Structure 1
């Protein structure tokens, strides 16, 4: 299943070439969102209010979609429709009495009749599509039911994968971004920054903002990077939060031990643990008042939906009262660490012990 790369699509857009159907996916979520915006801009310009319809894939009504597809554009050359996070594995949020295959089939039938004046964009930013790597081409091949929709888009329009960039590619992007802000960074240091951020483009952008603010028009050196940037850990902070919520002492201390390997950024470790518990507290409060994942993601401007989903899952094991108590313990730990004169590892181990002793 061949895919078009983002550079090719951007080149097409510069030439004024637009397809009627796009399917955009990949692990590089910021790039997915950026490319989506560029296609929309090419289609409707500044007339999004009149010529763009945004639909949530979890609640997609194919009859409504068909009517939108057939509409004539208003105040622009194209009528544009953006469908975010339609998942062929589970087409609806509530599948009671429905069959996924039937809904997918209706969608395919609807997409067969896209008129020349309409551009339909499917993009995936809130869930992960199961893929495998084709060793011959190096491209990703979709393994789950989303493959049918992706294949259809590839035949009728464009199928675009936005993969995580290599560290060398990111190093060039970082150097260019720093230069655009009047600063300087070597390619070696830019590559090190990419490694420390695990090639996450959103994290890299935030770190560039911080580093440029600190260095100004001077050079961002290796010492500055190592003093200001927290090296991302493969062990997620959700693992520790999940272990505490489940009263799993062994798993909690195993996660803490791995996180504590970063000796130079133990304050950042505490900050990230605290963030995980605040996420769970928000999710628990939202659940109490009948709110959903999408509501929390929108209200608190989360970029990654999986973080909200993890928070909903883990918070279901903890009462709001217990979550408040854990956040209070973390607050006191922060005060203790900032006061100085204590062993950070011992303080954090005591913190985890206290949280494990709290009761629902």
Structure 2
């Protein structure tokens, strides 16, 4: 079911008995769970709103569901991160009985936050979805589109008595990452620094913290340009932030895969759309755009050499004897040396 249906029910107060909120976008999942409880529970929240984390005690859950609300038309029971696969068979059977006999005054909400579910493969989750078909609503909330994120940033700026134009909002999106939780925090910080008025790129650069993925793309640009000092500085920053070396290497490999795909596409006469469709970059088109820009000055043979060096580093870094930082620094030196002064070959 769509988010539009959920928003309509929240607006009208015509709630279902059962909600299943799941998907990749943590901020929006929490946001809509709160919207339901805020609208439905009108009095005595301490009594009419009960929460359970993990696998609940079935007797306590049954009592919470069946107790009448106090001076409120509805009461809400929220189950956060219930691991359906980890439940005992008897508890799973009892949970289904509770769901199928929900009193009309109760709204039961399954909020799958950090527990990930698969609607195609998880048999118990598929059964839960089927139970929502009667008087329930299952909503999958995944990462929003770039346009939706830009609108979100504009609204967040307005909420903080600021304004932002689209290019600056796109810069924040590309600089600070994709998760709305993270973007909301960064936008609030940028607005506080700006002190009202229009947000500029300078405000973003002054206070925004780049996620590891953004720093990795800076690292890839530095090493491929032969800027060894800049590259080592980024390595220092990543280790200062206690990023895992294996994850750094994995992300760097991903960045060079982006560059290789972009260059290969350009050599074969293909464009951005082809890469997005062939390698599923939907919602991450900026990565393709940036890769095509950066790959224009590089030759295919150099990028092939980089991928070989990355593969060798991957084998080394996973060795029990290897000093992981040394492996990364040696890799940066090798790629930087290979890239220094290299001319773009014509194909």
User: Shorter-chain TM-score: what band?
Assistant: 0.5 to 0.7
Q: Hey, what's the Cα distance between the residues in 1 that align with 2:107 and 2:178?
A: 32
Q: Is the 8 A contact 1:129 1:142 kept in 2?
A: no
Among residues 166, 170, 190, which one is paired with 2:149 in the alignment?
170
Task: Compare CA radii of gyration and give the structure with the larger one.
Answer: 2
CA distance in 2, matches of 1:128, 1:149: 14
Find 2:29's aligned residue among 32, 51, 73.
32
**CA–CA distance in structure 2, aligned partners of residues 122 and 236 of structure 1:** 36
TM-fit CA distance, 1:45: 2.1
Is residue 199 from structure 1 mapped to residue 164 from structure 2 by the alignment? no
Which residue of the partner structure matches residue 61 of structure 1?
Answer: 57
- The answer to whether the aligner puts 1:211 opposite 2:190 as a matched pair is yes
Q: Distance in 2 between matches of 1:187 and 1:207?
A: 16
Q: Of residues 73, 98, 103 in structure 2, which corresponds to 1:115?
A: 103
Q: 1:229 to 1:236 in 2, by over 3 A?
A: closer
Q: Supply the distance in 2 between the matched residues of 1:149 and 1:41 (Cα, whole angstroms).
A: 24
Matched, 1:149 2:128: yes
Q: What per-residue deviation string (whole Å, max 9, x for no partner) do you get for residues 128-184 of structure 1?
A: 223xxxxxxxxxx44323222123224330101221111211111111211232222
Q: For 1:12 and 1:236, how far apart are their aligned partners in 2? A: 42
Deviations 1:279-322 (A, max 9, x none): xxxxxxxxxxxxxxxxxxxxxxxxxxxxxxxxxxxxxxxxxxxx
Go from structure 1 to structure 2 and tell me whether the alpha carbon gap of 1:261 and 1:232 turns closer, same or farther (over 3 Å shift): farther
Any residues of structure 2 matched to 1:41-60 within 5 Å, and which? 41-58=38-55, 60=56
Aligned pairs for 1:198-277 (under 5 A) are 198-234=177-213, 268-273=237-242
Q: Cα–Cα, structure 1 residues 89 and 201, in superposed 2: closer, same or farther, change >3 Å?
A: same
Whole-angstrom distance in 1 between the partners of 2:71 and 2:240: 49
User: Counterparts of 1:234 and 1:178 in 2: how far apart (Å)?
Assistant: 24
Structure 1 partner of 2:259? none
> Shift of the alpha carbon at 1:263?
7.6
Cross-structure match for 1:16: 13
SS of the residue 2:153 aligns to: helix
TM-superposed CA distance for 1:107, in Å, is 1.3
Contact preservation (8 Å) 1:44, 1:76? yes
Query: RMSD in angstroms over aligned alpha carbons?
Result: 3.2
Where does 1:318-337 land on structure 2 (aligned, <5 Å)? Answer: none
Question: 8 Å contact 1:52–1:80 — kept in the other structure?
Answer: yes
Residue of structure 1 in register with 2:84 after alignment:
88
Q: Does 1:129 align with 2:117?
A: yes
Q: Kindly indicate whether the alpha-carbon contact (under 8 Å) linking 2:156 and 2:188 is maintained by their aligned counterparts in 1.
A: no
From the superposition, tell whether residues 9 and 214 of structure 1 become closer, same or farther in structure 2 (CA, over 3 Å).
same
- Seen in structure 2, the aligned counterparts of structure 1 residues 158 and 262 have a Cα distance that, compared at 3 Å, is farther
**Equivalent of 2:138 in 148, 156, 159:** 159
CA spacing shift, 1:52–1:196, aligned 2, 3 Å: same
Question: Could you say what secondary structure the match of 1:126 adopts?
Answer: coil
Equivalent residue of 1:89, what SS?
helix
Q: Secondary structure at the match of 1:125?
A: coil
Question: Judging changes above 3 Å, is the alpha-carbon distance between structure 1 residues 28 and 217 closer, same or farther for their aligned structure 2 residues?
Answer: same
SS at match of 2:51: strand
Give the superposition deviation at 1:50.
1.5
